[in-house]
A and B are shown apart, each in its own frame.
Chain A
């Protein structure tokens, strides 16, 4: 069998602590996961390989952080990793049950202009708590793909893996324009097909 092609893409998994980043990481990378020590600190990050559609990319499980203004060593590592991989795709992992604080960090990352994709994790727990999150509307407002996942059961993980290559950078002023019902921004979005969120799924 042919060797999978290395796309050379690096994916950084960024999110608040305890949102299931590592669970999702293990789902995405399977047995290929390796652990490495980050030099100079006591905090680890984990690196693994995702093979999807015969192509590979490197995934880094970044320590959880609440903001890009670091408050402790683990958060410092998270912020530094973002700086060290300027061309990397950022996989934002959000806890559907605590969506607001996740969005705070997500917007901080989006503001940096890096290509992003959102995994709306813990959808099972949200369902149990009767919390519903409108992923399609989030996709429309943010303009980046939003995939609902449940890392512990593996739901949505395959779809997420397939969508990573569709990650895209969003414009923060366009987001606020869409939130405030700005006509010009709406029109721009309407030019794209489907849900007008990311324009890649054809929905």
Chain B
């Protein structure tokens, strides 16, 4: 199933299928199309999102997480 990265539940995993905007910024952190990731933290009130890619945790704003599409399941 496809959903926004920001919609992943805690501990849920997915594969990045599309980065809608400012992909460059995420690319240099190691978040690219085809990469598997796992949701680590989501904060309430539009707080930041932290995902785990391999051994590396990447934090981003909720707006950016909304622009990343992932395939789950």
Query: Chain A: residues with CB nearer than 8 A to chain B?
Result: 66-67, 69, 71, 97-98, 100-101, 104-105, 129, 131
Contacts and interface: CB of A to CB of B under 8 A. Distances in A.
8 contacts: A69-B24, A98-B55, A98-B56, A100-B54, A101-B29, A101-B30, A129-B55, A131-B55
Interface in B22-62: 24-25, 27-30, 54-56
A101 B56 contact: yes
A66 B55 contact: no
Contact of A105 (B24, B25, B28): B28
Contacts, number: 26
Interface string B13-28: 0000000000011011
Contact of B30 (A69, A104, A129): A104
Interface of B: 24-25, 27-30, 54-56
B49 to A, nearest CB: 18
B64 to A, nearest CB: 12
Nearest to A101: B30
A177 B56 CA distance: 28
A104 B30 CA distance: 8
A16 B56 CA distance: 13
